[in-house]
Amino acid sequence: KAAITVGIGLFIAFIGFVDAGFVNRTPGGPPVQLGIDGSIASVPTLIFVIGLVLIGVLVARKVPGAILIGIVVTTTIAIIAQSIPVLPTEIITMPDFGLGGQFDLFGSFARVGGLAATMLVFTLVFTNFFDAMGTMTGLSKNAGLGTPDGMFPRIRSAFIVEGAGAIMGGATSTSSATVYVDSAAGIGEGARTGLASLVTGVLFLLSMFFTPLTLIVPIEAGAAALVVVGAMMMAQIKEIKFESFAIALPAFLTIVTMPLTYSIANGIGVGFISWSLINGLSGRGKQVHWLMWVVSAGFVLYFVRGPIEVLLGH
């Protein structure tokens, strides 16, 4: 569970680097490279670096609201540097709710068949559940709310709300309204009780009417905040007992798989499978709970779902 927290921290930091252009894909070469052709001498990336240093200094000096201050200052610098070429002519607009309710609950069963649709539902539920579990576990540990057994208070209520949000997101034809690692930014500012999430939700509702204004904030400003929060979450790595290789390898695989595959669920799956196999085959089978074997088998099915979906005609 500590590895999940560290992996999420590395994941969101990597997202920040990519969003800012600090890291880019390279066609025909290494998977990623620094900036463009090894150079970060572009206005957005330089603004990201300024924001990263500014937020880092403010956080180190324990300035309240350090991340928000950094985002506001970085946005101002971006406007002055003309990295935002067009400022909005309108501040308030009416949101478009035309996609609300545009879904067919059983359409996939009619289109691809019962078995293929069931496999699709299994994949979505499996991914959503373990993405949420990993995110909640990582965030709770980062907030200092984790219990000695790795859980956190009111976990059942948290999953009920998360599941309901995912369903409602689909009903409104939007992205799944589930827990996101971006909440780590609020935790980094001191959020603990849930009030910050309520305030954020209300502000998101209001932001629907101020879309042109919110678009002023450049992606590199938010990217700097993600990297700082990722660094905060990396602190959990000290809880991993790397002196035991049966622990070190599954933890390492969990940590590196998340950013490299852009998926929290993938990291958890690789960690579960490697933990079960390494401990089970090295004489430590009693340390592997039977439920770990069940979940690991589910992840194996999830990872090889491609050929299975082909066989089912999906």
**pLDDT given at position 160:** 87
CA dihedral angle for residue 268, residue 270, residue 274, residue 276, rounded to 10 degrees: 50
Contact in structure between 141 and 236 (CB atoms under 8 Å): yes
**236 contacts 6 by C-beta, under 8 angstroms:** yes
Residue identified by tokens 């576990």 is 137
Q: Angle at the Cα of 16 (from 10 to 21), degrees rounded to 5?
A: 130
Residues 67-122: tens digit of each pLDDT = 889 999 998 888 887 655 555 667 778 877 777 777 777 776 776 666 666 766 77
Tokens 């969003």 belong to residue: 19
Confidence (pLDDT) at 172: 80
Q: What is the pLDDT of residue 41?
A: 66
pLDDT for the residue numbered 78: 85
Q: What is the pLDDT of residue 250?
A: 92
Spatial distance between the Cα atoms of 61 and 305, rounded to a whole number of angstroms: 49
User: What are the average pLDDT values for consecutive 10-residue runs of the chain, which has 314 residues?
Assistant: 84 88 71 67 83 92 86 88 61 78 72 66 72 77 74 81 83 76 73 82 85 80 88 83 89 91 85 90 80 83 72 60
26 three-class SS: coil
Question: For the segment 135-162, what is each residue's pLDDT rounded down to a tens digit?
Answer: 787 777 777 777 777 677 778 888 888 8
35 burial via Cβ count (<10 Å: 0-12, 13-18, 19+):
middle
The model's pTM = 0.69
